[in-house]
Copies of this chain bind each other. A is one copy, B any other.
């Protein structure tokens, strides 16, 4: 039932995986800014590990696209420019729309029911922990993730789903980088509901269009803020 994920060190089987998780979280949350030099010695000291696990974690991050490797010059946090955000959004729209269309074409009754359930749970969870000020609700975030995964789940292409997850994480990084926590004047719940309805109606064209708008809208907000805030 309840997941005690806070004690990552205790659950992670090796030091390298623990360090990898913490480092990734620090990059995704923006604590480590884009372009930041990642010096092995300093990191090893601050994370309480040797050079070997740290190097392995960095290598993994580089493969995921969250860090860049410069031969003989170590690692740095991956750049995050508006131009790259543009390519990211475009990739997400193309890939997720294609996956959604295929899901609609192939999905069976079980998929429909799972999607319905995911949308219901997302609706029931509060988006913010505080009604007046936006405070991220981990439960809503988890439901949000599962909803979007449920949309694509029936496409029958596991590598593609894994790629979608990767892009989602990278997008999350940009969201954290911008100061835009909430998007005023937007009813995301309604957007999700509309996407779910079109999908369950097997209206591929409409569902894909709505999903594309869903991502492009968020991208526009974040991109504008990223350009203003400077990065």
- Per assembly, the copies of the chain total 2
Verify if A17 is at the interface (C-beta below 8 Å from B): yes
Query: How extensive is the interface on chain A, given as a class?
Result: 20 to 34
Chain B proximity of A82: nearest CB distance (Å) = 14
Verify if A48 is at the interface (C-beta below 8 Å from B): no
Verify if A167 is at the interface (C-beta below 8 Å from B): yes
Give the CA-CA distance A14 to B71 in the complex, in Å.
Answer: 7
Known: A87-B157, A90-B156. 14 other contacts (CB 8 A): A14-B72, A52-B55, A55-B56, A59-B60, A63-B64, A86-B156, A87-B156, A87-B158, A90-B160, A94-B102, A94-B157, A95-B95, A95-B160, A163-B163
Q: Chain A interface (Cβ within 8 Å of chain B)?
A: 13-14, 17, 52, 55-56, 59-60, 63-65, 71-72, 84, 86-88, 90-91, 94-95, 97-99, 102, 155-160, 163, 167, 170
